[in-house]
Amino acid sequence: MDPVIETHDLTKRYGPALAVDRLTFTVRPGCVTGFLGPNGAGKSTTLRMIIGLNTPTGGSVTVQGTRFRDHPRGLRHVGALLDASDVHGGRSAAAHLGVLARTNAIPLRRVAEVLDEVGLADAARRRIGGFSLGMRQRLGIAAALLGDPPVLLFDEPLNGLDPEGVRWIRGLFRRLAAEGRTVLVSSHLMSEMENTADRLIVIGRGRLIADEPLSAFAARGTGAGVRVRTPDVPALARAVTAAGAAARPDGQDALLVTGLSKDRIGDLAFEHGLRLHELVVNSASLESAFMELTADSVEYPAGDQR
Amino acid sequence: MTALDSASAIAPAERPPVQGPPPHARDLLAGEWFKLWSMRSMRWGFLLAAVGVVVLNFDAALADVQNWSQYPAAMRAQFRPFGSFGDVFTNNAGITELLVAGTLGAMTLVGEYASGLARVTFAAVPDRRALMAAKIAVLTAVMLGFGVVVTGTSFWLGQAVLAGKHVGISITQAGIWQGLAAAALLPTVSALVGLGLAAVIRHSAATIVATVTVLLLIPNFMTDHHHWSACLYHATPFRAFQVLYQLTPTQANPNLQYPAHPGGEWWVYLLWPLVSAVLALVLVDRRDL
């Protein structure tokens, strides 16, 4: 399937600071793409350049082959939630969406439809000023859905949502992708992406670090693999290495094995008559892969690292 | 990982290209109109400002009627038409309109920039210039309506009161239209100046300070005594309004070395909003959000 969002050497410079540095990637339809990076990595700047709010210093970005700003009206082409606080507190939720619908000649019944979809139907007539952050996120998502667009951008959409909201939003992204839409979701937390995205675009200090399926990304981390606890570490190490896997000690009585599945390691131990006390897939692998890859590109590290 | 499995299992449907209706300026006008009126504070702002200005003008006429018996005979004899016309729209009413309309005009734009709503607005309408043109058109229309209604009501109420002393003037009074037009245009001029400053500054507090400074403080600091000062003074919209709000033909004050002339003041009065609008239209397309 053809790529929908394409950036080529996309660059944004603010004075001496390089916010986005020759970024080239593509986003394809039909799956949820996670856009990941530490704080200040240039995610929001990139999203703003995609929808023409910021002009690139160099390079180009197109959506479905067109510069977004060349569309007279935008909501039918790209729906975006950039910042849930980008609203005027004095308007009601219905009025906020009503303004947007009118400018794009979208039938006003869509306002009630999307408010219903995000669970804000009861709050439609209430002033946005009194909304919680979670409600504002839902309103922002409603605005993005208003024009039924084929491309959707969400900047940190999970901020401020309760667990029920997080589950709902993951289901929503999945459904939007299954409908053939292009869904790009940014986050600075790997854990948020773990159950949300199919592909990952990882950036750090404005540069592309990775652009690959989530599973490939997870395999990069040194923490990836299966953790096996056994009283006879050397024997197990010999057994799994002989089967083609890599193993390294993980503490006193455990091994971290990569290249073999959990079941296969269990079978091997059985065949060699080895006792196992623990056999578990290392679930922190995504987070550690992310941390390791972006360690060099954290903009504001805590402590005295630099 | 279940997320991956389910995604690869679903074959996404091919989405047809987007087919929206052709863009119309009337959609943007409708949006901007609704944006203005869906805000309770704006509706109250216009209502209170209208009542305030009318009361200020009404009060001037009322004061003249109440103090009538104390006025010297010569003053009473000359009250009509100049005094009667002065009561239609007082200087204090002008200052009030200047501040209220200037602030409301600035807020219609700077409110969007300051709240971040501008990002949502311009993502919905990438043709920023068309949107700004619609905003200017709606603001101009609303402020013109406001100016005409407030000036008309002030005229009618004030002259009805003055009629009690038989010094009311009618709308057919000779030379009345320049002054009434200037009064009716004052909210539009002020609002567009506020909007223009908002387009340049884009920061709430600084925009309001700049609007008050340009519309009210600078003309208040300047005098007719020196050439440079007189030039600056006459170039402000408020001074232009004061010069234009007279029965025509106007008489220049013989005591002034550098008097202002209505012909030039009309240029000042109309160029301020025009330049402000052009500035807003040019800048909106050139800056990041």
Question: CA-based angle B50:B55:B60, to the nearest 5?
Answer: 135
Minimal-distance CA residue of chain A relative to B287: A54
Least-confidence region, from A71-80, A114-123, A199-208:
A199-208
pLDDT at site B18? 73
A74 interfaces chain B, CB cutoff of 8 Å: yes
**What does the alpha-carbon distance between residue A93 and residue A111 come to, in Å, rounded to a whole number?**
9
Which residues of B are less than 8 Å from A149 in CB distance?
18
- B23-27, B39-43, B202-206, range with the lowest pLDDT: B39-43
Among A33-42, A135-144, A251-260, B194-203, whose mean pLDDT is lowest?
A: A251-260
Contact across the interface for B116 and A86, Cβ inside 8 Å: yes
Tokens representing B104 are 């409301």
Q: Residue B12 has what pLDDT?
A: 46
**Mean of the per-residue pLDDT values of chain B:** 91
Mean pLDDT over residues A44-50, rounded? 96
Tokens coding B211:
């609007």
Min Cα–Cα distance to chain A from B184, Å: 29
CB atoms within 10 A of CB B287: 13
Highest-scoring range by mean pLDDT, A161-170, A234-243, B96-105, B258-267: B96-105
Task: Please enumerate in sequence order all residues whose Cβ is within 8 A of that of A146, keeping only pairs 6 or more positions apart, or say none.
Answer: A75, A79, A97, A100, A101, A104, A106, A110, A111, A114
Tell me which of B94-98, B100-104, B219-223, B256-260 is least confident. B256-260
Q: How long, in residues, is chain B? A: 289
Whole-angstrom distance, CA of residue A83 vs CA of residue A176? 20
pLDDT at position A305 is 46
Radius of gyration from C-alpha coordinates of chain A: 23
Q: Is the pLDDT of residue B241 over 50?
A: yes
pLDDT of B131 over the 90 cut = yes
| Under 8 Å between Cβ of B12 and A1 | yes
Instruction: Note the ipTM here.
Output: 0.89
Average pLDDT for B112-122: 95
- The per-residue pLDDT for A87 is 94
* A37 contacts A188 by C-beta, under 8 angstroms: yes
pLDDT at A115 over 90: yes
Question: Which chain A residues are Cβ-neighbours of B288 within 8 angstroms?
Answer: 48, 53-55
Task: Please give the structure tokens belonging to residue A284.
Answer: 């922190």
For A51-81, the pLDDT digits (tens) are 999 999 999 999 999 999 999 999 999 999 9
Task: Tell me which of A69 and B13 has the higher pLDDT.
Answer: A69
Q: Which pLDDT does position A222 carry in this prediction?
A: 59
pLDDT-derived band at A160, boundaries 50, 70, 90: confident
Across residues B160-183, what is the average pLDDT? 94
Q: Mean pLDDT throughout B218-227?
A: 89
**Cβ <8 Å between B18 and A150:** yes
Task: Over range A131-141, report the average pLDDT.
Answer: 95
Enumerate residues 4 to 63 of chain A having a beta carbon within 8 A of any beta carbon in chain B. 29-32, 48, 51-55
Write out chain B residues lying below 8 Å of A85, CB-based.
Answer: 115-116
Q: Which residues of B touch A110 (CB under 8 A)?
A: none
- Answer with the residue of higher pLDDT: B4 or B60: B60
Percent above pLDDT 90 for chain B: 81
Bridge partners for A61 per DSSP: A7
Coil/strand/helix, residue A242: helix
B20 versus A81: the higher-pLDDT residue is A81
Mean pLDDT, chain A, integer: 89
Return the beta strands (E) in chain A as ranges: 5-14, 17-27, 32-36, 58-63, 78-81, 151-155, 182-187, 199-204, 207-213, 226-229, 246-249, 254-258, 278-281
Residue B144 amino acid letter: L
- For A226-254, the pLDDT digits (tens) are 889 999 999 999 998 998 888 888 888 89
Q: Do the Cβ atoms of B134 and B32 come closer than 8 Å? A: yes
